[in-house]
Amino acid sequence: MPELPEVETTRRGIEPHVLGRRIDRLLVHDRRLRWPVDLTLIAAVAGSSIRRAGRRAKYLLLETEAGTLILHLGMSGSLRILPTSTPRVAHDHVDIELDSGQTLRFNDPRRFGSLLFTTADPSLHPLLKGLAPEPLEDDFNGEYLWKITRRRAVAIKQLVMNSRLVVGVGNIYASEALFRARVRPRRPARSLTRVECAKLARAIKATLAMAVKVGGTTLRDYVGADGNPGYFRQRLYVYERDGSPCRVCGKPIKHFTQGGRSTYWCSNCQK
């Protein structure tokens, strides 16, 4: 599933191809995404230029003169820049044809992705309004984590994966960040000290930033025919490494299920 770093990598990959380009035509081949695509957006954006390719949490925001397209990749979605004449393959649901002769093509086998449109400020859209601070920006920090953990007994891993409190930290990055901060995933959130909150905030930023950086090396994939983002698994400390030696202490990485999701950790390094 694309997580925040993959979405940011996608944003960076498409940005140079879409910025300043006019949308000649938007085609919806199959509107049955997570929410049925509102077909009135086709006429609404036709002929308008793309002013900004932004991101909020895992939503890509294509700001045009007419309004903002809000795109979510869901569980299996990907975007590619292709020559407009490229034949469609299975699960290509949307084409945003640009005046450059290229198309921004949305493919999503499982159709949990979405395409929405708003003429208002996108930050006021119901999907974006209640979102927590962006983890890579300054208002997400140790003090913020300290504040939101004080009254919460929920396990810290589940807290950092709660998008109402921390956006964009999915299962892989939650496990990785907790390892980097040396905090056990099952600790009650409120048991973290101020120092641990600061370490965890830094670890979340570092984990995501590294993933974005490494994702940057696969940018070519987004403009070619192969849209696979690649999850740079060789750099992971704990995720899906159960039984393998911890990269820091050598003890076997452990695994358990928490809130329906797999959690990986080192019982020696994490306190």
**Nearest distance from C-beta of residue 189 to Zn ion, angstroms:** 22
Query: One of 58, 80, 187, 254 is an active-site residue; which one?
Result: 58
Among 36, 224, 249, 259, binds Zn ion (CB under 5 A): 249
The residue (of 19 and 249) whose beta carbon lies closer to Zn ion is 249
The per-residue DSSP string of 6-52 comes to HHHHHHHHHHHHHTT-BEEEEEES---SSS---THHHHHHTTPBEEE
Residue sitting closest to Zn ion (CB): 246
Mark the segment that binds Zn ion (CB under 5 A) among 92-100, 208-216, 217-225, 262-270: 262-270
The residue (of 84 and 268) whose beta carbon lies closer to Zn ion is 268
269: contact with Zn ion by CB under 5 A = yes
**Nearest distance from C-beta of residue 254 to Zn ion, angstroms:** 10
- Is 129 marked active-site? no
The per-residue DSSP string of 140-207 comes to SSHHHHHHHHTT--SBHHHHHT-TTTSSS--HHHHHHHHHHHT--TTSBGGG--HHHHHHHHHHHHHH
Burial 54-75 (b: 16+ CB within 10 A, else e): ebbbbbbbbbbebbbbbbbbbe
- Is 261 marked active-site? yes
- Chain residues 183-202 in contact with Zn ion, contact rule CB under 5 A: none
Range 122-131 contact pairs with CB under 8 angstroms and sequence separation of 24 or more: 122/56, 122/61, 122/63, 122/68, 122/70, 123/56, 125/70, 127/59, 127/70, 128/56, 128/57, 128/59, 128/70, 130/164, 131/56, 131/57, 131/163, 131/164, 131/167
Q: What length is written for the chain?
A: 271
For β-strands 68-72 and 78-83, DSSP reports them as: unpaired
The residue (of 167 and 253) whose beta carbon lies closer to Zn ion is 253
268: contact with Zn ion by CB under 5 A = yes
39: contact with Zn ion by CB under 5 A = no
Site size for Zn ion (CB under 5 A): 6
The residue (of 105 and 254) whose beta carbon lies closer to Zn ion is 254
- Is 2 marked active-site? yes
Among 37, 71, 197, 266, binds Zn ion (CB under 5 A): 266
Q: How far apart, in whole angstroms, are the C-alpha atoms of residue 95 and residue 97?
A: 6
**Nearest distance from C-beta of residue 178 to Zn ion, angstroms:** 12
The residue (of 39 and 248) whose beta carbon lies closer to Zn ion is 248
Query: One of 52, 110, 251, 261 is an active-site residue; which one?
Result: 261
The residue (of 193 and 267) whose beta carbon lies closer to Zn ion is 267
Query: One of 3, 8, 97, 176 is an active-site residue; which one?
Result: 3
- Chain residues 219-248 in contact with Zn ion, contact rule CB under 5 A: 246, 248
Task: Write out the catalytic residue numbers.
Answer: 2-3, 58, 261
Residues that bind Zn ion (CB under 5 A): 246, 248-249, 266, 268-269
